[in-house]
Amino acid sequence: MKKINPNINYENKVIEIKGLKKAFDDFEVLKGVDLNLYQGENLVVLGRSGTGKSVLIKIISGLLDPDEGMVRVLGQEVNKLKPKQLDQLRLKVGFSFQNSALYDSMTVYENLEFPLIRHAKDMSKGERDRRIHFILDGVGLLQAINQMPSELSGGQRKRIGIARTLILKPEIMLYDEPTAGLDPITCIEINALINDVQERFNTSAIIITHDLTCARSVGDRMVMLLEGQFQRQGTFEEVFNTDDERVKMFYDYNFVY
Amino acid sequence: MGLKDNKVDTERKRRYFVSRRVDRIFLELYKVYAFHVRFFKEVFVPPYELKEVVRQCYEVGVRSLPLISLTGFIIGIVFTNQSRPSLSEFGATSWLPSLVSIAIVRALAPLVTAIIAAGRVGSAIGAELGSMRVTEQIDAMEVSATNPFNFLVVTRVLATTLMVPALMIYTVFVSLMGAYLNVNQNELTSFTTYMTQVFEAITFLDIFSSIIKTFIFGFTIGMVGCYKGYYSSKGTEGVGKAANSSVVTAMFLVFIEELLSLQIINLFRAM
Q: What is the pLDDT of residues A195-215, one digit of tens each?
A: 988 988 889 999 999 888 888
Q: How far apart are CA B266 and CA B271, in angstroms?
A: 9
Q: Which residues pair with A72 in a beta bridge?
A: A16, A77
Average pLDDT of the residues in B10-37 = 81
Task: Name the residue facing B144 among A26, A99, A115 (closest C-beta).
Answer: A115
| HSE of B57, CA atoms in CB hemisphere, 13 A | 12
Q: Are A85 and A166 in contact (CB under 8 A)?
A: no
Supply the pLDDT for residue A185: 87
- The answer on pLDDT for A73 being more than 90 is yes
Q: Are A109 and A161 in contact (CB under 8 A)?
A: no
The residue among A177, A184, A181 whose CA lies nearest residue A194 is: A177
pLDDT class of B248 with cuts at 50, 70, 90? very high
Are the beta carbons of B146 and A115 separated by less than 8 Å?
Answer: yes
pLDDT class of A72 with cuts at 50, 70, 90? very high
Domain count, chain A: 1
The residue among B116, B98, B233, B102 whose CA lies nearest residue B163 is: B116
Are the beta carbons of A88 and B136 separated by less than 8 Å?
Answer: no
Q: How far apart are CA A247 and CA A177, in angstroms?
A: 19
Q: How far apart are CA A195 and CA A193, in angstroms?
A: 5
Residues of A in contact with B143 (CB under 8 A): 61-63, 90, 93, 95
Average pLDDT of the residues in A7-19 = 89
Average pLDDT of the residues in B71-78 = 95
CA dihedral sign, ordered B25, B28, B34, B40: negative
Distance to chain B for A95, nearest Cα, Å: 7
Supply the pLDDT for residue B14: 56
Q: Domain coordinates of chain B in residue numbers?
A: 43-270
Does the beta carbon of B56 lie under 8 angstroms from any beta carbon of chain A?
Answer: no
Give the mean pLDDT of chain B.
Answer: 90
pLDDT class of A245 with cuts at 50, 70, 90? confident
Task: Name the residue facing A99 among B12, B136, B144 (closest C-beta).
Answer: B136
Average pLDDT of the residues in A125-143 = 91
| HSE of A247, CA atoms in CB hemisphere, 13 A | 19
Higher-confidence position of B29 and B4: B29
Supply the pLDDT for residue B5: 47
Higher-confidence position of B10 and B156: B156
Give the mean pLDDT of chain A.
Answer: 88
Residue A61 in domain: yes
Supply the pLDDT for residue A225: 87
Supply the pLDDT for residue B1: 40
Share above pLDDT 90 across residues of chain A, in percent, rounded to a whole number: 47
Residues in chain A: 257
pLDDT class of A257 with cuts at 50, 70, 90? low
Residues of B in contact with A65 (CB under 8 A): none
Residue A116 in domain: no
Its ipTM equals 0.89
Task: Name the residue facing B136 among A97, A115, A118 (closest C-beta).
Answer: A97
Are the beta carbons of B145 and A115 separated by less than 8 Å?
Answer: yes
Residues B133-175: tens digit of each pLDDT: 999 999 999 999 999 999 999 999 999 999 999 999 999 999 9
pLDDT class of A253 with cuts at 50, 70, 90? low
CB–CB contacts below 8 A, A to B? 53
Q: Which residues pair with B217 in a beta bridge?
A: none
Q: How far apart are CA A184 and CA B189, in angstroms?
A: 77
The parent domain of residue A180 ranges over: 9-100+171-255
Cis peptide before A6 (omega within 30 of 0): no
Give CA separation, B207 vs A80, B106, B166, in Å. Answer: 52, 7, 12
Q: How far apart are CA B153 and CA B211, in angstroms?
A: 23
Residue A199 in domain: yes
Residues A87-111: tens digit of each pLDDT: 999 999 999 999 889 999 999 999 9
Residue to test with chain A: of B137, B155, B156, most A Cβ within 10 A: B137
**What three-state secondary structure class fits A19?**
strand
Residue to test with chain B: of A82, A98, A113, A114, most B Cβ within 10 A: A114
Q: Is A82 left (phi over 0), alpha (psi -120 to 50) or beta?
A: beta
pLDDT class of A254 with cuts at 50, 70, 90? low
Computed on alpha carbons and rounded to an integer, the radius of gyration of chain A in Å comes to: 18
Residue A114 in domain: no
Question: Which residue type, as a one-letter code, is found at position A130?
Answer: R
Residues B77-100: tens digit of each pLDDT: 999 999 999 998 888 888 999 999
Residues B118-136: tens digit of each pLDDT: 999 999 999 999 999 999 9
Does the beta carbon of B50 lie under 8 angstroms from any beta carbon of chain A?
Answer: no
Supply the pLDDT for residue A25: 79
Q: How far apart are CA A114 and CA A120, in angstroms?
A: 10
What backbone phi and psi angles, to 5 degrees, belong to A246?
A: -65, -40
Residues B221-246: tens digit of each pLDDT: 999 999 999 998 877 888 999 999 99
Supply the pLDDT for residue B108: 94
Q: Are A244 and A231 in contact (CB under 8 A)?
A: yes
Of the listed ranges A230-239, B19-28, B86-95, B113-122, the one predicted with least confidence: A230-239
Average pLDDT of the residues in B32-48 = 92
Supply the pLDDT for residue B187: 86
> pTM of the full predicted structure?
0.86
Share above pLDDT 90 across residues of chain B, in percent, rounded to a whole number: 76
Residue A110 in domain: no
CA dihedral sign, ordered B232, B238, B239, B240: negative
Supply the pLDDT for residue A1: 67
Residue A132 in domain: no
pLDDT class of A144 with cuts at 50, 70, 90? very high
Domain of A22, CATH number, reads 3.40.50.300
Task: Name the residue facing A101 among B139, B145, B146 (closest C-beta).
Answer: B139
Supply the pLDDT for residue B24: 87
Residues of B in contact with A111 (CB under 8 A): none
Question: Which residue type, as a one-letter code, is found at position B71?
Answer: T
pLDDT class of B268 with cuts at 50, 70, 90? confident
Residue A115 in domain: no
- Exposure string of B259-270, with b = 16+ CB inside 10 Å and e = fewer, is eebeeebeeeee
Residue of A nearest to B134 (CA): A101
- The answer on pLDDT for B247 being more than 80 is yes
Residue A218 in domain: yes
